[in-house]
A and B are shown apart, each in its own frame.
Chain A
Amino acid sequence: MRLLLVEDDEHIGRALQTGLAQQGHAVDWLQDGVAAELAARDGQYDAILLDLGLPRQDGMQVISHLRRDGYAAPILIITSRDEIRDRVEGLDSGADDFIVKPFDLEELGARLRAAHRRAMGRSQAAVVHGDIRIDPAARQVTRAGLAVSLTGREFMLLLHLLEHRGHVRTRAQLQESLYNWNSDIESNAIEVHVHNLRRKLGKDLIRTVHSQGYVIDNA
């Protein structure tokens, strides 16, 4: 998933960014509320992780501004305020989840997946396409019941294409969903990943749409 992390605390922010990257996500990390709002508006984030006490603009304001303008991606609040009142207020203002510090990184990952799943309108944790089955939590892929080994990026790319089944994704969109700002991307990185996926899962899985991008057709 491509994630926006907004956390003003240096230590937590860095740890979260690394930790979520370890789980295969591409994470952009910002430290103030105004920048966060701007980034959310023009980025393609699958979810936002948001601290509440932020410089320049409070997290709560960020949420209400984004939601007011119809921002749809899941927003998860991460905060040390743990009173019921704060939770209620946070969820009511449009947040999808409320996570209190200190938290467990695994649990945070699970909540992220759940929020994302809900946003994609799925109720099943696993994503199934023909004989391919993807378990996002375990990051496992099976084809006809046999495990297929994918790298983190390949996995994310497959999931992304499956989640947008039937819609052509441009190379730029795919790049954005896989890499955060800090990564230096090889110009043919997406092609390499697609090539690998075809090799591992069958060459008909991903269709190239000439001069546009790639798509996985509905089964």
Chain B
Amino acid sequence: MPEPRGWSLRTRLLVLLVCLAAALFGTSAVLNWRAHHEASDRLFDDSLRGSAHLLLQLAEHEMAEHGEVLGLALLQAETQPGPAGFHFQIWTPDMLAAAGAGAGSGSALQAPLLPFAAEVERFGWTTVNGASWRSYSTWNRPRTLHIQIAQEPTRHAALDRLALWRIAGGAAFLLAMAAVLMWVVVDATFRPLHRTAASVGERSEQDLREVDTAGVPREVRPLVDALNRLLLRIRSALQTERRFTADAAHELRTPLAAIRANAQVLVAARDQAEREATARDLLASVDRSTRLVEQLLALARADQPLHDDKLREVDLADVAREQLAVHRDRAEQCGVELRGTLQPGATRADPALLSVMVRNLLDNALRYTPPGGRITVATGAHEEGPVLTVEDDGPGIPEPERERVFERFHRLPGQKATGSGLGLSIVRRVADVHGARVAIAAGEGEKGTRVSVRFRQAA
């Protein structure tokens, strides 16, 4: 497992869901509590109003019997503020007027300062002994008595707190339940993903089979499909690699067999002439395997992706000139005329790879063109981009073979001259990494071979 685990889709989803649930449950709890609060306030007010009207009735009764409300004063004295205690005052209109004029002070309650008629009843808050009390004032029906009553809301608050705990507790419990359920559901939902991941994770590096798409959710399908496409590409790349290794080993057998056979023949040579001829063949076989290994290395090197830091501004004419100079002697030995018609053709390329490419083309031309032939290397800037061509007037490559000769180890059937069959594969590979195109055509007058490499315009 890699150390930084990255963020987890599952954890994130779970956290988001739980937060969402918490917000919903919280809101619901608050609303609930508010509703409860209002209901309990109303209940409290109703009971306050009930008490007020009861007292008013008592006071009316007293007034009718005694002309005053002394009894109530007693009652007042008895109902000192306590856990459920309340204060009240009963006023007649004249007293009220007095109070309105500023009298009646000393009382905890202020007389209403508004005109009596204005308000029939009124709830409010008043301060008693530094605490906030709920107050209520009203008239009796004939408006002969006015009552003011206040009650300490302590009990009320305690009740509210209890309800608050209940609501909050309930919400928390439900939230916990929901979180557990969500965890179960989310986990089950993510299981196929884990299965897929596990099935990929458990594989050996040899196992490049496609990942099974059965049971993979639609959302993950693109990822699995992309993975499968990648696996397919890796598979085919690996297959090419394997085939190449097998081919290379196979191709090495022939020169090795020649070396071994020649060495054995040399040991048992019957005369000096046989010894010399065999030794020469032995040397040639060694050279051939060396050449094969070199070509294999060149191909491996050309097969690597091209790095930007290798790219230079290169003039094809310079590369061609250099290679022409290198091959001049050999051309003379072969009795072949070697010419260059070099016009500047600038491109961005890896100069080392370009040299390898031109060398292989020249090598082919020299190898397969019989003495008396002529080889021309041309470079120049065409409209579509810089072009390099190597042309000879040798035997040529027949039309149907012009693609196949680019394949690794492919040589024209019955080819007498030795070779490993890799030269043109290397040329094609170098062209490919530079985005250039190689094509084989017949040379001038439908004779010989013309290989042309078209590069991209140097940007």
Residue of B nearest to A22 (CB): B268
Are A11 and B274 in contact, CB atoms less than 8 angstroms apart? no
Please tell me if A12 contacts chain B, counting CB pairs below 8 Å. yes
Binary interface profile of B, 262-292, with partner A (CB < 8 Å = 1, else 0)?
1011001110001001100100110010000
- Chain B residues, Cβ within 8 Å of A32: 414
Binds A, one of B220-228, B253-261, B381-389: B253-261
CB of B418 closer than 8 Å to a CB of A: yes
Is A203 an interface position by the 8 A CB rule?
no
B-chain residues with CB within 8 Å of residue A18 when the two chains form the complex: 265, 274, 277-278
CB-based contact A104/B260 at 8 Å: yes
Q: Are B261 and A105 in contact (CB under 8 A)?
A: yes
Contact B254 A55 (CB under 8 A): no
Nearest residue in B to A103 (C-beta to C-beta)?
A: B257
Interface residues of B, count at CB 8 A: 28
- B260 in contact with A103 (CB, 8 Å): yes
Instruction: Name B278's contact: one of A15, A56, A103 (CB within 8 Å).
Output: A15
A contact residues around B418 at 8 Å (CB): 10
Say yes or no: A56-B413 contact (C-beta < 8 A), given A11-B288, A22-B268, A105-B261: yes
Asked whether any CB of chain B lies closer than 8 Å to the CB of A80, the reply is yes
Residue B250 at the A interface, CB < 8 A?
A: yes
Known contacts A11-B281, A15-B281: A105-B254 contact under CB 8 Å: no
Shortest distance from the beta carbon of B297 to any chain A beta carbon, whole Å: 21
Residues of chain A within 8 A of B253, CB atoms compared: 80, 82, 100-102
Which residues of B (55-94) have their CB < 8 Å from a CB of A? none
A12-B254, A101-B257, A102-B253 as given contacts; A55 in contact with B414, CB under 8 Å: yes
- Number of A interface residues in the complex (CB < 8 A): 24
Known: A12-B258, A101-B254. A19 touches B265 (CB 8 A): yes
Report if A127 contacts B (CB, 8 A).
Answer: no
Q: Give the residue of A8, A14, A56, A102 whose beta carbon is less than 8 angstroms from that of B257.
A: A102
**Are B257 and A22 neighbours in the complex by a CB distance under 8 Å?**
no
The docked-state distance in angstroms from the alpha carbon of A80 to that of B254 is 7
Contact A16 B261 (CB under 8 A): yes
Closest CB in chain A relative to B251 CB, distance in Å? 8
Residues of A within 8 A of B255 (CB): 11
CB pair A80–B250 under 8 Å, yes or no, is yes
Chain A CB count within 10 A is highest, among B259, B261, B268, for B261
Smallest beta-carbon distance B138→chain A, Å: 112
Nearest B residue to A106 via CB reads B264
Interface centre among A16, A19, A55 (most CB of B within 10 A): A19
B270 near A22 with CB under 8 A, answer yes
Q: Is the interface of B mostly helix, strand, loop or mixed?
A: helix
Say yes or no: is A116 at the interface (Cβ < 8 Å to chain B): no
Assembled-state Cα–Cα distance A25/B250 (Å): 29
Tell me the bound Cα distance from A203 to B129 in angstroms: 160
Nearest residue in B to A16 (C-beta to C-beta)?
B261
A81 at interface by CB-CB < 8 Å: yes
Residues of B close to A80: CB separation below 8 A: 250-251, 253-254, 257
Q: Mark A1-40, 1 if CB is under 8 A from B, else 0.
A: 0000000111110111011001000000000100000000
Interface string of B244-256 (1 = CB under 8 A from A): 0000001101111
Q: With a CB–CB cut-off of 8 A, which chain A residues contact B254? A: 9, 12, 80, 101
Q: Give which listed residue, B258, B265, B281, B288, contacts A105 with CB less than 8 A.
A: B265
- The interface residues of chain B lying within 8 Å CB-to-CB of A10 are 416, 418
Docked complex Cα distance between A81 and B251 (Å):
9
Contact across chains for B257 and A12 when beta carbons are under 8 A apart: yes
**A22 in contact with B265 given A80-B250, A80-B254 (CB within 8 Å):** yes
Q: How far is the CA of A102 from the CA of B268 in the complex (A)?
A: 18
Q: Measured between C-beta atoms, what is the minimum distance from A20 to chain B in Å?
A: 9
Task: Indicate whether A15 sits within 8 Å of B262 (C-beta atoms), given known contacts A10-B418, A80-B254, A102-B257.
Answer: yes
B264 engages A19 (CB within 8 Å): yes
Contact in complex: B281, A14 (CB < 8 Å): yes
Of B254, B257, B259, B274, most A-chain CB atoms within 10 Å: B257
Q: Determine the chain B residues whose CB is within 8 A of the CB of A106 once the complex forms.
A: 264
B256: A residues at CB distance < 8 A: 101-102
The 8 Å CB contact of A102, one of B259, B269, B281, B414, is B259
What sequence of 0s and 1s flags, for each residue 90-108 of chain A, a beta carbon within 8 Å of any chain B beta carbon? 0000000000111111100
The verdict on A15 contacting B284 (CB below 8 Å), with A9-B254, A10-B418, A102-B260 known, is: no
B250 contacts across to A, CB distance below 8 A: 80-82
Query: Nearest chain A CB to B318's CB is how many angstroms away?
Result: 38
A19-B269 Cα distance, complex, nearest whole Å: 8
Cα-based distance from A55 to B284 in the complex (angstroms): 22
Q: A202–B413 Cα gap in the complex (Å)?
A: 54
| B288: chain A residues within 8 A (beta carbon) | 11
A105–B269 Cα distance when bound, in Å, is 13
Whether B264 and A105, one on each chain, are in contact in the complex, defined by CB atoms closer than 8 angstroms, is yes
Please indicate the chain A residues that have their CB under 8 angstroms from the CB of B262 in the complex.
Answer: 11, 15
- From A11, A16, A100, A104, contact of B284 by CB (8 A): A11
Other 18 A-B pairs with CB < 8 A, given A22-B269, A80-B250, A80-B253: A8-B414, A9-B254, A10-B416, A10-B418, A11-B258, A11-B284, A11-B285, A15-B261, A15-B262, A19-B264, A19-B268, A22-B265, A55-B413, A101-B254, A102-B253, A102-B257, A104-B260, A105-B264
Residues in chain B within 8 A of chain A (CB atoms): 250-251, 253-262, 264-265, 268-270, 274, 277-278, 281, 284-285, 288, 413-414, 416, 418
Q: Can you list 11 A-B contacts with CB-CB less than 8 angstroms, sorted by A residue number?
A: A14-B277, A14-B281, A22-B265, A32-B414, A55-B413, A55-B414, A80-B253, A82-B250, A82-B253, A102-B257, A104-B264
Listed from nearest, the 7 A-B pairs whose CB atoms lie closest are A101-B257, A55-B414, A15-B261, A102-B257, A11-B258, A80-B253, A102-B260
